[in-house]
Amino acid sequence: MMTVSIRNQLSRSLIIALCVTMGALLVVINWGVGQISQEYILSRLKHDAESIVAALEQDPLSQSWQLSPRGASNVYQRALSGHYYLLSGPDIEIRSRSLWDYPVSFDRLTKGQENSFQMPGANDQHWLVWQQAFSKNDTLFTLTIIEDSAPLDALKWRYTLWAILVVALGATALFFMQQWSLTRNFRYLDSVRKKIQAFRYSEEKPDLSGMPSELAPLADDIDKLLQQLKQRVSHSRNALGNLAHEIKRPLQRLQQLQDESEMEFGADIKGLLNDIQWLIQREMKRARIVGVSSPGRQTDLLIDLPPVINILGKLYPAVRIETDFSSEHILPQDRDDMLELIGNLLDNACKYAMSEVDLSTAVVDNQLMIRIRDDGKGLPQESIERLMLRGQRLDEREEGAGLGLSICSDIVESYRGRLTLENREPHGIEVTIGLPLR
Amino acid sequence: MRIRFVFLAMVVGMINLAHAGSDISDKQVRAWVTEGRILPFEEIYARNKDRLSGHLLDLEIEEEHGRIVYEAELLDANGDVWELYIDAVTGEVVKEEQDD
């Protein structure tokens, strides 16, 4: 299907409208100027005709017809002047001297008849001809008066050319004004797009007011849609989180019961329970990934982390948690994921620490580095290697530690990051998370 | 004999010169064109279009030493009035001079 472009459609209709109206305007100008000049010449020719009719007289003695010298103006005397007359009666033809030797003859008219037409004339002239038949002393004459309209025709075309120029400039200006106005109005759509993009990284509802009235309903709908999307995402997250949470205890209890009792299919049941736990984990991970692409929220460690530290402080009163977010405290990653990740790691660190846990962030090579250190006893190298394999529990009695680390690995992987665990000198563990920034 | 011929020619020439002052009518011109004695002016105009392209003021025709010559009065673009003499039989420009 062809994509519909409002700009192209509007441009096309404007161009068509401009071509039609401007073309019509040019035709009217050309025709009108021609008509005016022709009418002007004809009115002059009619005046000259009256003078010639008046000057035509019959010699009382010879009965021959002649024009009295005062009859016509001097322009009819100068050869090829562009003003001519030809008077034809019975057995007589009086030509103006200006006609010189130019061979010309016209049809005679009947009495009272008038006629006008154009024809090519002597010396590249354009002749405008006016004819009239009249009778004097019962003798019928046809008077033909001619004027060269070439100079006026040239003038007409000059004005038409000017009109074409003006019309072309005007049409071009109109076209560019329309384009400019379209660009200016489409900029509102760009701003809507930017605001919606911005919404993906913050929880602030975009302000879509100030739109042109034509776009207001669209902005309104987008607003509602975003609201709905946000609600749905949080609903499904909550539902999944609740389910995972609720199912955790029965599962643990089942595992305990299975451990305690000697059952026939003990190994199978244990495997199945592990599968169920893995499935829950996988679905939760999926939900998180969905959360990232839907309107999520960035993490501000200065705001979001203190409640977590508060709880941990109460759980582990002997441990002091030191934080250093001087290099970066706003993380573009989803808040829930980050809190789960950092919370789990902090929880583990507190469990093993003697007195102090250290949390700091840094940006290195376009990577966000989160470092958590404790001052505990540390772990044997083989335990570290084992821990890095998913789902391995280090300490059976302190349940949840292994699962916690496994969830952490999943979250880090979902952001294409890296999680490393190592012993530090003189003692303690250092966990480093590297998350690529966009 | 030779002297008498020259004298005769001079007399005829004088008559011709006297005649040259008076205007040969357009009727006469038309008659000459019809007889084929001189070229129609349309033809002369076509041949000398570039020289006659200024504003043609008037035409006169003269018979000088048995030669029929057009005297065209022209106003050029600079505002100068010129007289152009054109042989009415051959259509060639005979001479060109600025009017005093």
Predicted local confidence at residue A203, as pLDDT = 58
Which segment of A236-240, A339-343, A394-398 scores lowest on mean pLDDT? A394-398
Predicted local confidence at residue A291, as pLDDT = 44
A421 in helix, strand or coil?
strand
Mean of all residue pLDDT scores within chain A? 83
Of residues A72 and B98, which shows the higher confidence score?
Answer: B98
CB contacts of B41 in chain A (<8 Å) are 79-80, 100-102, 122
B44-85 per-position pLDDT tens digit: 998 988 888 778 888 888 888 888 899 999 888 888 888 999
Residue A401 has pLDDT above 70, yes or no: no
Predicted local confidence at residue A84, as pLDDT = 94
Q: What is the fold of B2-98?
A: Nuclear Transport Factor 2; Chain: A, (3.10.450)
Which of A79, A97, A122 comes nearest B42 by C-beta? A122
Q: Does B58 touch chain A (CB under 8 A)?
A: yes
Question: Does A103 sit within 8 Å of B29, measured CB to CB?
Answer: no
Which segment of A263-272, A392-401, B83-92 scores lowest on mean pLDDT? A392-401
Q: What ipTM was estimated for this complex?
A: 0.71
The domain limits of chain B are: 2-98
Of residues A345 and A401, which shows the higher confidence score?
Answer: A345
A343-357 per-position pLDDT tens digit: 888 888 888 888 999
Residue B23's pLDDT band (cuts 50, 70, 90): low
**Distance separating alpha carbons of residues B22 and B15, to the nearest angstrom:** 11
- Amino acid at residue number A204: E
Question: Does B56 sit within 8 Å of A100, measured CB to CB?
Answer: no
Residue A307's pLDDT band (cuts 50, 70, 90): confident
Q: What is the fold of A202-296?
A: Helix Hairpins (1.10.287)
Q: Does B59 touch chain A (CB under 8 A)?
A: yes
Which segment of A67-71, A86-90, A215-219, A282-286 scores lowest on mean pLDDT? A282-286
**Residue A354 backbone phi and psi in degrees, to 5:** -85, -55
CA nearest neighbour of A144 among A75, A87, A224: A87
Q: What is the fold of A299-436?
A: Heat Shock Protein 90 (3.30.565)
Question: Does A79 sit within 8 Å of B56, measured CB to CB?
Answer: yes
Of the spans A60-64, A127-131, A277-281, A344-348, which averages the highest pLDDT? A127-131
A113-151 per-position pLDDT tens digit: 999 999 999 888 999 999 999 999 889 999 999 999 998
Contacts of A49 (CB under 8 A, 6+ apart): A85, A130, A132, A143, A145
The kind and range of the H/E element at A419 are: strand A418-423
DSSP codes, A260-279: HS--TTHHHHHHHHHHHHHH
A242-256 per-position pLDDT tens digit: 777 678 778 878 877
